[in-house]
Every structure is written in structure tokens, then in C-alpha cells.
Structure 1
């Protein structure tokens, strides 16, 4: 008998092919489905060159122009000179641009420069160079920032940043340098020679490469560095970037930056995942520095072990890196620090600080692929209420749509979406629906019909609308590089255009790497063509960024520019922090993935994306109950806190695992809700300074070498330290508490622990070790409601952890949680200081805050002191000449809590007022 496939009609054959492609695309990660360096010609050519093996570039025609230094780079191996320009920006930032000189013998096209990533006011912050110094022959140097200067070496070309006052040798006391090993290479656009083959093949795919090789390679060295960090996204249990080449390094791949849909990715791999940020930070006891290359083509980056260039004479304290990109130009930025937070501020001053999220978005989210129908939604919502577990957002995945047509509803399963959303909104809850970038090729689908008529799709190499396979089957992809198309897309989120949506509906962008099931490496071919003739290879890593941008602007328009959007994106690039949150993608339910989620999320924060997290419980697979509980206990501290699971997994709402486990997960979620005032204050700090919410220990303790590569513990702000539990049936854990001559207080018991040492602690199922730093004040809310919006009028608790001087300080930031009125001054920002037996509250309000006001009648109902001697019995509210008692009490209001603290009960002090409370 003939097989069913051979007898099947063409439509069925197409369906079977789609199922095959779909199945292969969502199977576990397979190494041979993706290219390695040896299969990537530009990487293979560049990676193993010896130092100074290339013909050197020399600098000529140095002059001051356009406010900076201009010059030409000349080499015997390049047909045309390269144009070099150096610019200096306020705050210790140096910009290097190198491009082809198209004024003579112009190339067939301009090389791509990534638009709309750098802030529009950047040029307003440029420092105009008025003179150059040439104290050393063959060098040009100029002021960069207080204590730092840039030095350009002419022959051979080398760029360095060093501390001023370092003597006449330009190579002394450097913090950063480029091309110190002579590995800079720039493949210029040129005509194809007869018989030359430019095409590249990988598996069954052929890349036509119509413009030939155009890669760029450069080496960057960091001095006085113990470690380097950054360049997400990779899955590693190490926070610091491990060396990928050199003595002591086994055969390894470079760190790859190429956004891909990698289902069930593996840990301990330099393989690139869903997003790419080509930004690296170095840190050592003496200083920190940073390097950012604005380039959205594929990048491969080697971190080189000491002795890679000379095994007989390894140089410690210097970390060399090799950066290889397939296309684009050199548009690189150097950051001088000197502290690690300074480097982050300098980077986010270019790409933007994180947007201030709506308050509901930092609470708990419940998601699954998929909640089946409106009845299922109502049952899950009721389950949280029945089990007294707060949550704020319920999510719907692709199955809620009509045949994977986004902006539609399956009206059989979701007949009344507005009413469904209203029922959630009545409890202060929101809904998120998924909107992916692939558009079903269906002439009856209004999005496809309009996009086709307007010519809004990315084209294939032949000029036709690109047609690839994704969830709907045959799909095309909107060209979000085009600003006109982004504006058109934004209009689709209006209540008029998105039928069935309401003002409390928010958006999830998935698959926006872009994911193409039948494409090379499950993505779009590199020779596809975007707006302006740009090849996909040149813009690939920014594809999801532009999609995220357009969607966020759509929600902003929907709200008349007055309501903060919330959009979650899987793919990301430099600047994505301006448009919303990201998550770490399709992880799996195992202990290693729980462990790796912490350095992944911390690294995202270091590179600007403060609002991120991992799928709690693991997206793929069925977590054992202990793992799920531990994941909730860690995930409650992620900046973005969401439970999510694949449709093939068992249901895992928190009440499905027995009463005891439900209680443990409830406690974890409630911990997050009690800390929402602290988190919201930290998001305000991030939106102003760029400093992340979730931080590595060394960001707060830059002088403590024990903290430099601690990936198992992390800080939330400057006040909380959290140590995860990452092993099954773990009985004890070693916790290093950084700092000197201070204490840390257990967040639940109030017991004090000495800093600057490792403590071996017993582990219980009740929670994970978490500590408040001595000398800090943390605001909490301890009354639990159904959602965060129902807590808005609840009173606050202040937890004051005293240092050895019996002093502490902290902040509280409050606004309306949803609008942009805070930009005109409508907020309350208080500084609390306890010193010399007095607690005072004063306003933090810069003179340019704006005239709009925000009022609140909320009060502080409890003040908890940790580390306070037992002597004081009374508290005097001096501004009201009113007294109240100080009594022993628990740190947390839970059953069985011990009276470990001294508590001022019901002082009823308004958060909006100045006041002083004295204890005696």
C-alpha cells in the first residue's frame, strides 16, 4: 500500500510539511541546527589571526572638524582610505566612528548605520574639541573627562584611554584600548571578481550575499580588570564572562550575538539566544570601564585568557577581547567610569534609561500557553481569590486568536472579550494578549490585505514579499525598520482597530527575533531586503527592537499619550529598555535553569534592561513540586515576576500542589507584594539613573573581590541581598555577606549576621535566605489584597535596619502608578533618615521637578527597628507633640513569628508630610 503521504492531496502535503517543520522547530536545542564559528566565514577568517599579523593601518590627515577629531586610516591592503572620527560627550564618553570613504571610487551602496537607538539629544551633550596635544611624536591626545584623556597613535593605528598625569609614555596607566594587538580589519565593499563565489551555504539554505564580504574585526583591551561582564544574551551560571580562547581553555565557541528562537536552550553555552546587546563592562579594584559597539549585524566575541598572545608571558590584570561583526560600520563608545554605576549611567545616557512601568506591571503575572476559553479565565481568576493569593495580570497566548490572526479573537472560545476584561478590571486586574510579528498570508485578513497593498512587508532577495512559516502557516513579516510602517502598526492598537480590546489590555511581543520555522537557523534569510535596501544581515539583531518600539508606541497612542504602556518582548537590542520588559525565553523546568536565570537577569540589568525575569517554573517540562516552590521563592525577587508554561505541561496554578505547597507559593508571592513600594522606588531610580533594580553584589560593593563573580546571590537595590536555593533537597547553603564593619539582618527573623564573611546556614522549605543591609530603611505594605491597585490606599511599614552607629536611611517614591504626570512633578519622594535617636522625613524634589502635584492620605502604621538597644520604650512625634509606645514585635506579620524587633505601632505619620519622630 502506498504511504498516506504519497496519496495525500497537495493541501495535505503542505499541512504535513508544516507540522514537520513546526515539530522540528520546537524540539529541544540541537547543536547542528545552528552555525558555529567555523561554519561562519567572517568568524572563521578572523578568529585565529595572530597579533599584528595583518598589514597595519596608519593615521593620516589629522584635523579638528565637526567638533571632534577627523582623520584617515590607510593600509596597503585596502583599496580606499577609511574615514575616522572621534567625538567626546559629557560625562566621560568617547565615540569612535570608522566608515568607508565614498567620495572617491564610491562603493555600490552605503554601509548600514543603526538608526533610532541613540537618544535624540546626544549631540547637545557633545564637548567640542578646540585643540589637540602632541607632546609625544606620532600621537594626538585630548581631554576626555576629569582625570582621563584619549590618545590616538598614528603609526600603527591605536586608540587608548588613560588616566591623566601618567607621564610621557602614552601606553602607561591605560584603562581601555583598541587595536593594541593590530587585529583591526575592515572588509570594504567592492565589485565581484570573475569566478569569485560570494554565496554561503548552511544546511539546505543558500545566502546569495550580493554585496560580498563586508565584515569588521577589532580588538579591545580592558586594563586593571579582574573580570568582564555583559553582552547578553547567553545562558551561563557564571556572572563574569569566561574566557573562550587561550591557555587553559578547552575548545570553545566565541560568545555569539545573533537573535534566534532557541527552544529549550541549554546552559553553560556561549551560544546567542533571543537578544543581543554588544556592551561589555570591566571591573577591578581600581576602576570600571565599558565598551559598546552600535552594530546590529551578527557578532562573535572572544574573551581571551591571559597568555593567549604570548603563553610565555601572560599579562594579568588586562583582559583582551576580540569583536567580529558580519557587516555595518564601527560606531563604538568607550566609557571611563570610574565606578561601575558610572559606566551604566554613561551607557544609558546614550541608549536611554528604562521607562517607568505602570505599577501593576511589577506585581505578579499569571500566564500559560494557553488558557482555553473565557470559562477557564474565570476559573483561574477565581482560584487566586479562593486561595487568597494576589495577582495582577492574566495572559492569553496565541490560541485566543482566530486562526493565529493577531488583533482577533476566537469568538467560539472568547465570545465576549470586553466583558471578560471588565470582570478582571473590576478587581483591579489587567489582561495581556500576544501579538507576534508574523502576519498570516490570508487575503481575508485585514492586516495582511492592507500590508500587501501598501508594500509593507520585508522582501526576499528577488524583490517579492518574503514568505516564511510560523504559527499561522504561510506568513509575511512587516518591515519595522521603516518609520512609516511603525506608525501604521501603532494605529492597529486603538480600541477602534483592535476589536474586543479595552484600556486594561496590554501586549506581549513573542517570536520577534524574527522566528521563521523554515528559515536558516529558524530565522529570516540574511539576504532578505528591508527599507532603504538594507539587507536583513545588517539589521537582524535590531528587528525585535523596532517591533517592540512600534507596539509600545501603539499603546501610548491608544492612551492619548497619557497612560504608560506595558509591552513584553522576547527579542531585544540596545535601547529596548525604553519600551518595556523582556524575559529570558523558553527555559525548561530543571534546577540548572533556575540557577542560570539569576546571572541572565542580572546581566540584562547591567546592560540597561532593568525590567526582566525568567519564566517561573520553567516554560518547558513539568517541574517537581520542590523545584516549583524554590522557583517562586527566587522569582518573587525578579524585576519581572511571571509564572508561565508550555501547553504540553501539566497545569501548575499555585493551588494544585497540596495545601502546604500552596502556602509556600502564596508566601513567596505575598513577599513580592509587601515589597512593592520598595520595588517601585527602585524602578524610579532606574528610570532616572539607569542603575538596575536587580544587581550583582559587586555593583554595591565594588571593592570586595569576593563578590566579583558571585552569581548565586544578588542585590535588590542597595538594601536587600537574596541567596537562591538551586539544588534538590538542599539542607544547608553558604551565603557570603559582603562589606566591612557592618551587619546584615535576616529578612524574616531579624537575626543579625556579620558582613565580610561566609555563613553556612540551614535551609528550610519556608523560604530562601534574604537579608537587609545595616544602615538602610525599606518601605513595605503588609496588608494583602487581590491586586496591587487595591492596595493603593493602604498604610506603610518602615523597616529600619541600624548600623553600628545606630543610623539608617532610605527612600519612598509614590505617584499615581499609571500616568506620565510624574514628569510634571506629580509625585511624592521622601527621604527617611534615622540618626541620633531621631527619624525624620523630608522631601526629595529637585528644583526642576515641575509644578503638578500629587496628593496622598496614606500613613505609616508601623515602624520596625532592627538593631535597636532594648532601652527605648516611647516615641515622641515632635511635629505633633504626640507620644506612642515602642514594643517588642515580629518582623513579619505571619503566624509563628517571633518578637525579634522593636516596633512603633500606629504612629500614623502621613507619607506626604515632613515630620520627626524621637525615641526615648
Structure 2
């Protein structure tokens, strides 16, 4: 079995076979929803059913055609969030509602009724500037803020809700009786039966609950720039869609995915952000079934009204006063999901960072990773044996290249049986890990969700006996083909399965594993080689009797959750886990890192990786990266060098390659290229204090580590579509070189009053707007923003753990007011003591009025470090200093040694030896 599978999947380096995956017009619920006609709504609301409570407002709506009543619930949630839920009042059985993604049930505020009659309901919100307007016929809603309609729902009358029905075999006799055997009725019966079955190729999907799709349209008033909904190999700024070319959120194993395609790939986050100067909002569509999204941006005519807060929808639709009209952009978005309920959140911002915090309030923030995981990771499918691992590890030392983690792919196991070791190739894994441990390095191994169907395999035998596998529609264990051959798939939607799975990582169960072993979850879309669209049948059955169609996009989310819990539990809850997952959903940020999957060694994939990672980042998952060099194919040396340079300045930094590629460890491309790659990796390690501090910020405040330029410059229209450069935190602007043989690049420097400095040469860049900057192969443009302080390490060692006591260097880049500020976060780098025992340190550095100060930024922190600040560079100081004095706790100490470069206006303070844990000031006296 294994050999035939290996042959089947050995065809590499080919473009994705799109015929294996559905086009939109082959998706049955999409075809049904597309039959709706805009402007002809079937839904009306009954205002006499309105119920007001401290928690929500409820009322009923009805579809005039099928006469099935639905319950609408409206909530205002603390933090400027609104929630809309629509569900059947009396379904034949419960409809699926997403669990475990929200970190808690959101706290609600009380809405009050301002106006209610048979045609309209107006609700006042806790923010006096905001109201909700609901009209009865047709049923529509508007969210009004400060005399402006921000967002409206069902504007185009595309609300869609398929109610659950009895199976056709129950209804057949009734139909035939009514028709007295007429041909028309029997044809109707056949059409009805078709709604319960769906064919794609040789696959038949039987829908136990029948058709149950939902949909709703939103109009975003004044917005023409929308972002989000990862994961697609598409630009940062989302494009208008067309029939049969819409954004698909359906997690799929797509080998060598096609660039500029809206087809679903490995992950799904149904979060869409809209931005305009002065406001950012977002729509979070909480549905884990297959979801499609249409986008249409257009110019819309709106009538200005100073009394918009008290103007009904009916009045807004009257004959317009042309003198009061204005033309504004408007983006219409339409969500369509195969099943579940309508459960959507409106995040009202108004600022980008407000939206990030609101989304994190619902789904959680990025987990704080262990420090080692921010270092460089070396991976390949596959390092062949223990000797191969030893030689690669030694190569990094020989060529003086730091790294933290070496990875093992599927070949390290005993016949693709996870939690095992190949007895010949890895006969002494305990010794191998101890050798890595001596060098303060880590090991990551792959653990996929499919389990080899082998009665002699303990994991399989236990799971089968306990009934822990996903079932097929007949009640037997679902079986499919993946790396081991015939496999069954663990049902991670079950809490019992997750509990049992977490226990498998215990040292007593996972033989020859150690505390330096961490985990990579791959193939967890889930991937099924001979399955429909290379994944699991939608009519497979999970815990609770839910069909796979309901939970598909959650499968990888649940595996990563269970894996992270297992790594935490094996050490008694003391140590932070590291888990990389390929498949993800909203909330995956709580459990670790993601990457962009099977990319190619091609310049176009390097280029598209930037908007892909920015999109993932604004959707809440900051710990993300792309395989350096491209997983598929052989990069030429220039491409590999450029990929290392940008990968070193992104959140997750891993080199990875397919088994059919040539070896590409960093020292295999000649002396000069080795030197350049070494410098890129070393720069990453010198920047780890800044990166770790950024991860602390995203952990506590949901501020993305890697962010689009518009996030930092939300009023500057030119930044809204920029995707070839990005901000790393608020201080560094990075411009990757993504074209071969480039000698210059055009970098846009935003902000009319901003000052920008070359990060490496410390000189101020002259000019504003787009600058042509010369480049060589040695580096890519990295530019520090004036007004910021960046902490760095003064030297780089073999791995992060070797660098704990290496002194710090601070780079303060002054703005036009000669001011700068920045942070440094410190803890032990690996445990949860920062959380449970407040063992952390947060320092704030400020340069103001010629005084550089260090102050505690969080008095709760109890961590103390021996580390010192050894050197400070102050960029943009225009006057020659006459003397520099350092004070600790207001106590005068000896004068500070310094040099001043008048040409570049850089002051360097040397040999400081100022402890990073305590308060101090450095006074700079300048010559008048």
C-alpha cells in the first residue's frame, strides 16, 4: 500500500491541478443563492414580536415564500462591537453553532428603543452617537454613527436561510398524493431529491439534514479598500469578484497553489476589514462550513442629512434633493455559507488598532511564543538519519551561522506512524536530542492527524477501541489514503479525543521524546489523497452527530489546540509550547504559528508571500511565515539570498524544501552567498529583543508584529494599496527585493512630517514620498522611523539561549521634535512564569529634551536581569554634545564616553554598562 501511495504522490513541481477542485459554479449552495434577485427580498420583520432585555433585542422575521419564521437577536457588546444572530425558531433539530473559537461569551450592553411602529425599529446604543435602524418590509438594518450610515445589512435583499426539512423519502408519498401521479409533481420530487445529494466526479455527498445554507449581504458605506479573509495567494487589497470567481474559504491541501487565485487553500479566517481615512471597521462571519465571499466596490450616491440619526430608511429612499447629494464609494460584500446559522460581528473601530483589539476580545490574542521559536529554523523533507542531523547541525557552527531548531519530516517515523521513530535511521533519538540540548538547540517533529490503519500500532488500536475516529455516513470509521497508506482520522472536535491526544505527548507515552522536542501539525485540512477535493467527505460524521460539512474549517484548529495542550501538560503546565500548523481558523493565534504552505522556488512566490503574510497578520495571526527559498523546486542563488533577507525580517523564519529538491543548507551556494545569508540571519538574531517585544505587544494588545503600511498611516491614501513594503512593528519599514538583478527599488516613505533613517548606515534619508534607493545583493532596504527606539543585542551567538546575557544596544531615531520612544520586554523566554508569577520586565526608553531615560513601564513585573545596556546610538542629533552624564536613581555617576559624527548627526554613547532592570537617565549637554 505504501509504495503505491508514494508513486501516486511523487509527481512534483507541477502546477496545481485545478480540475481536482470545485469551481464556484460547481458548488450547489452557491448556485442556489445566486438565483436570488437583488431588490426582491422575501423577508419581512414583525415589529410586534420585539423583545427587549438587558442582554439583547429579539424579534421574528419570516420568509414570505416558505412561511418559516426565524429569530433575529441583536447585541451590543462591550468595546464597540455589535452581534447579529439569525436562527430558526423551531428547527427539526439544532443547527450547528461554532464552539471554542470565541474565548468567552461576550458581555452585552443594554440597547434601548427610541422608536417603534409597524414599519421601523430604532435602537439607541451605549455610545450616544450610534444607532441601529431596522425596517420591517423588506427586512433591513443600518448602523448609523455620527450622522453617517457606516454599514447596512440586507441592503441588496440577499438574505438567504434554508430551513431544515424532512428527508424526501418521508415527503414522497405526500407529494404523489397531492399530484395524483402527475408528471409535474414527480419532476418536482426529483428536483427536491437533488437538494439532498451532490455529485462531484465520482463522489456522492449525501446531506443528512438536507440543504441548509445561509447568506447575507452587507454594504460598507464610504469604503473602497477592503482586506483580510486569509488564506489566498492574492494581493493585500481585496479585488472585486465576478460570477464563478469569488473568494472561497475552504481549507484544502493544494500542492503548489496558483498565484492570483481566489480558491481556498490551507486556512480560513472569515474576517474582512474595511478602511477609509478616519475609520476602520470589520465584519467577522463566524461560520466554519464552506464559505464564499463576493465583493463589489462602486460609487454610490448618498444624500447628506444633518438629521441622519433620526431619519428612517423609508425617508432616505424618497426622491432625493440633488443639492444635498454626494458621491461616495461603497463596497458591497456577500457572505454565503453551506450550513450553520448566521452569526456575525460588526467591529466598529474606529481606528485600525481598535479593530485588532475588538477581534482579539472575541477570539483571543497571539500566544506569547518561546524565545527560541523566533530564531532561525532549518527544515527539509527529510533529514535522512541521525548522522544527517548531526552534520547539518555541525555545518551551522562551522560556517558561523546561528540557528535554533532543526526539523524532522515524516520519514523520521516508523512507517509514517506518528509518535514513533524509524528504528534504523533514528535508532537513538534520545542521544540525538541530548547532543542538540548541549548546544542549546531544539528539535521539531511532524505529527499529522491521519493514523495508519495498523492493528499493531498502539495509537491506532487505542483510538479505534475508544471510538475516537471520524465516522463515515454508515457509522464505520472513515478511512482515506494519506502518507501511511490506508488511514483513519482522529476526531479532534471531540473534547475526549483532544484530551487523549494531548496525553500522547507525555514523556511516558511519546517514547524518546524530550523537553526540547516540539511539534509541527501538517496535512490537517484534513488532507485525503483520494478524497473529494483531496479532503474528507462532507457527509462524514463527527462528535455530537455533526457532519463534516459543519466543522471542516475547524479541523486543523482543533488539532493544534490539542497539540499545544499536550506540550503544556507534559511539563506540568510550566513551559510554553511551540506548534506550527498548516490548517487554521479564527482563534488559531492562541495556539502557535502558521505558514503559507507548499510554495514554489520562484520570484513570483516570494513576491506574493508578502501580501499573504500581511493578510494573515491583520486577521489576528501574527506568528506567520513562508518557507524560505520555496518548498517546491530549486531556487537560484540570487532568489535564495533575497528570500533569506526578507524571511529574517518576518515573524516566523524557516528554511524548508521538498525531498525532490537539491540540498540547500545556507552554506551550499558559494562563499559570497554564504556570507550574505549569514549576515541576514545574524541581523535577525541581533533584532530579537525588538521582535520579542513586538510579540509581547501582540500578546497583550493585539498589535500585529508585521503590519501593512496603512495601519501605521491610516489617513494617508497612498498607503492603502501598498503591499511591496511593510512595517515591522511601528519602527521599521522593510522593502523586500522581489525582482532578479535589481539595482534600484522605489520605496514609498509615508508621512509628511516623518523622518526616516537607513537602519544600517544610520543616515537620514532625504526627501518624502517615493524614493529610488540603490540596492546590491548584500542587503534589502530597512528603514527606521523617526521617533522610535529599537533594542538590539550587541553580538550574536550560536542560538537564542546562548545570548541571554549578551548586552543590549539601543538605536534612538529622532523625529522632527527631536523625540524618540520605544520598549523592551524581557522574561525567561520559555516558561509561563511571566503570566502566573509576574516574572517579566517591561522598560520604556525615551529621548526628550536631550535626556535619554529608562523607566519601568509596568510596575507588576518582578523579573530582574543581569543584562546591561552597553551602547546607545542617537540618530538625528543636530548639535555637537559638550558632555554626557549618566545618573542612576538621581545619583551622579562618571561621565559617559561618546563620539559624535557631525556629517551624519549620529551620537554614539559607549561602554555604558547600565543595568536594564533599573531606572537611569543620561543627560546630554550640547554646545549652544
TM-score (norm 1): 0.93
Q: State whether residues 133 and 142 of structure 1, in contact with CA within 8 Å, keep that contact through their aligned partners in structure 2.
A: no
Match of 2:155 among 180, 186, 202: 180
Match of 2:478 among 454, 466, 475: 466
CA distance in 1, matches of 2:634, 2:490: 35
Q: State whether residues 21 and 518 of structure 1, in contact with CA within 8 Å, keep that contact through their aligned partners in structure 2.
A: no
Q: Is 1:73 the equivalent of 2:61?
A: yes
Q: State whether residues 160 and 178 of structure 1, in contact with CA within 8 Å, keep that contact through their aligned partners in structure 2.
A: yes
- The Cα offsets for residues 49-100 of structure 1, whole Å up to 9 and x where unpaired, read as 3312342332440111361101111121234211111111111011111111
Q: State whether residues 787 and 820 of structure 2, in contact with CA within 8 Å, keep that contact through their aligned partners in structure 1.
A: yes
Change in CA separation of 1:324 and 1:756 when aligned onto 2, cut-off 3 Å: farther
Match of 1:720 among 716, 722, 732: 732
CA distance in 2, matches of 1:351, 1:78: 36
CA distance in 2, matches of 1:57, 1:652: 63
Change in CA separation of 1:448 and 1:340 when aligned onto 2, cut-off 3 Å: same
SS of aligned partner of 2:881:
coil
Aligned residue pairs: how many?
Answer: 875
After TM superposition, the structure 1 = structure 2 runs for residues 211-250 of structure 1, keeping only pairs within 5 Å, are: 211-236=209-234, 238-245=235-242
Match of 1:274 among 253, 261, 266: 266
Q: State whether residues 880 and 900 of structure 2, in contact with CA within 8 Å, keep that contact through their aligned partners in structure 1.
A: no
Q: State whether residues 776 and 808 of structure 1, in contact with CA within 8 Å, keep that contact through their aligned partners in structure 2.
A: yes
Q: Give unmatched runs, 5+ long, in structure 2.
A: 173-188, 303-324
SS of aligned partner of 1:381:
helix
In structure 1, what is the equivalent of residue 305 of structure 2? none
Match of 1:903 among 898, 908, 916: 908
Change in CA separation of 1:72 and 1:25 when aligned onto 2, cut-off 3 Å: farther
SS of aligned partner of 1:290:
strand
| Superposed displacement of residue 214, structure 1 | 0.7
Change in CA separation of 1:98 and 1:135 when aligned onto 2, cut-off 3 Å: closer
Q: Is 1:161 the equivalent of 2:140?
A: no
- How large is the Cα RMSD of the aligned pairs? 2.0
In structure 2, what is the equivalent of residue 490 of structure 1? 502
CA distance in 2, matches of 1:699, 1:483: 38
After TM superposition, the structure 1 = structure 2 runs for residues 471-620 of structure 1, keeping only pairs within 5 Å, are: 471-620=483-632
In structure 2, what is the equivalent of residue 742 of structure 1? 754
- The Cα offsets for residues 261-317 of structure 1, whole Å up to 9 and x where unpaired, read as 00001111111110000000000013110100110000010111316999xx99642
| Superposed displacement of residue 517, structure 1 | 0.2
| Superposed displacement of residue 156, structure 1 | 1.8
| Superposed displacement of residue 22, structure 1 | 2.8
Q: State whether residues 51 and 309 of structure 1, in contact with CA within 8 Å, keep that contact through their aligned partners in structure 2.
A: no
Q: State whether residues 581 and 594 of structure 2, in contact with CA within 8 Å, keep that contact through their aligned partners in structure 1.
A: yes
CA distance in 1, matches of 2:909, 2:434: 41
| Superposed displacement of residue 127, structure 1 | 1.6
| Superposed displacement of residue 754, structure 1 | 4.6
CA distance in 2, matches of 1:268, 1:254: 12
| Superposed displacement of residue 203, structure 1 | 1.1
Match of 1:668 among 680, 698, 705: 680
SS of aligned partner of 1:218:
strand
| Superposed displacement of residue 888, structure 1 | 4.1
| Superposed displacement of residue 740, structure 1 | 1.7
CA distance in 1, matches of 2:108, 2:767: 43
In structure 2, what is the equivalent of residue 913 of structure 1? 918
Q: Is 1:51 the equivalent of 2:38?
A: yes
In structure 1, what is the equivalent of residue 175 of structure 2? none
CA distance in 1, matches of 2:886, 2:89: 71
Change in CA separation of 1:841 and 1:457 when aligned onto 2, cut-off 3 Å: same
Match of 1:291 among 255, 268, 283: 283
In structure 1, what is the equivalent of residue 293 of structure 2? 301
CA distance in 2, matches of 1:24, 1:468: 20
In structure 2, what is the equivalent of residue 11 of structure 1? none
- The Cα offsets for residues 189-221 of structure 1, whole Å up to 9 and x where unpaired, read as 102243322211111111111221111111011
CA distance in 2, matches of 1:444, 1:86: 54
After TM superposition, the structure 1 = structure 2 runs for residues 748-763 of structure 1, keeping only pairs within 5 Å, are: 748-754=760-766, 756-763=768-775
- The Cα offsets for residues 306-336 of structure 1, whole Å up to 9 and x where unpaired, read as 16999xx996421101111000101110011
CA distance in 2, matches of 1:917, 1:308: 57
CA distance in 2, matches of 1:858, 1:81: 66
Change in CA separation of 1:137 and 1:536 when aligned onto 2, cut-off 3 Å: closer
CA distance in 2, matches of 1:25, 1:905: 55
Match of 2:100 among 116, 140, 147: 116
Change in CA separation of 1:755 and 1:155 when aligned onto 2, cut-off 3 Å: farther
| Superposed displacement of residue 158, structure 1 | 1.4
SS of aligned partner of 2:527:
coil
After TM superposition, the structure 1 = structure 2 runs for residues 20-419 of structure 1, keeping only pairs within 5 Å, are: 21-23=8-10, 27-47=14-34, 49-60=36-47, 61-65=49-53, 67-102=55-90, 106-107=91-92, 109-120=93-104, 122-123=105-106, 125-129=107-111, 131-134=113-116, 138-145=120-127, 147-164=129-146, 166=147, 173-191=148-166, 192=168, 193-194=171-172, 195=189, 196-197=193-194, 198-236=196-234, 238-245=235-242, 253-306=245-298, 316-419=328-431
After TM superposition, the structure 1 = structure 2 runs for residues 849-864 of structure 1, keeping only pairs within 5 Å, are: 849=860, 853-864=862-873
CA distance in 2, matches of 1:803, 1:424: 45
- The Cα offsets for residues 158-207 of structure 1, whole Å up to 9 and x where unpaired, read as 1221114x2xxxxxx11122111110010111022433222111111111
In structure 2, what is the equivalent of residue 8 of structure 1? none
Q: Give unmatched runs, 5+ long, in structure 1.
A: 1-13, 167-172, 246-250, 891-897
Q: State whether residues 46 and 60 of structure 2, in contact with CA within 8 Å, keep that contact through their aligned partners in structure 1.
A: yes
In structure 1, what is the equivalent of residue 648 of structure 2? 636
Change in CA separation of 1:524 and 1:315 when aligned onto 2, cut-off 3 Å: farther
**Which 10-residue stretch deviates more, 362-371 or 221-230?**
221-230
| Superposed displacement of residue 826, structure 1 | 1.1
**Which 10-residue stretch deviates more, 550-559 or 57-66?**
57-66
| Superposed displacement of residue 358, structure 1 | 0.4
In structure 2, what is the equivalent of residue 435 of structure 1? 447
- The Cα offsets for residues 679-722 of structure 1, whole Å up to 9 and x where unpaired, read as 00000000011111000000000001111010000000000000
In structure 1, what is the equivalent of residue 316 of structure 2? none
Change in CA separation of 1:609 and 1:326 when aligned onto 2, cut-off 3 Å: same
CA distance in 2, matches of 1:814, 1:562: 17
CA distance in 2, matches of 1:581, 1:208: 35
Q: State whether residues 873 and 886 of structure 1, in contact with CA within 8 Å, keep that contact through their aligned partners in structure 2.
A: no
CA distance in 2, matches of 1:899, 1:651: 43
| Superposed displacement of residue 155, structure 1 | 2.4
**Which 10-residue stretch deviates more, 734-743 or 514-523?**
734-743
Q: State whether residues 91 and 145 of structure 1, in contact with CA within 8 Å, keep that contact through their aligned partners in structure 2.
A: no
Change in CA separation of 1:906 and 1:26 when aligned onto 2, cut-off 3 Å: same
| Superposed displacement of residue 141, structure 1 | 1.2
CA distance in 1, matches of 2:13, 2:496: 33
In structure 2, what is the equivalent of residue 3 of structure 1? none
Change in CA separation of 1:889 and 1:401 when aligned onto 2, cut-off 3 Å: farther
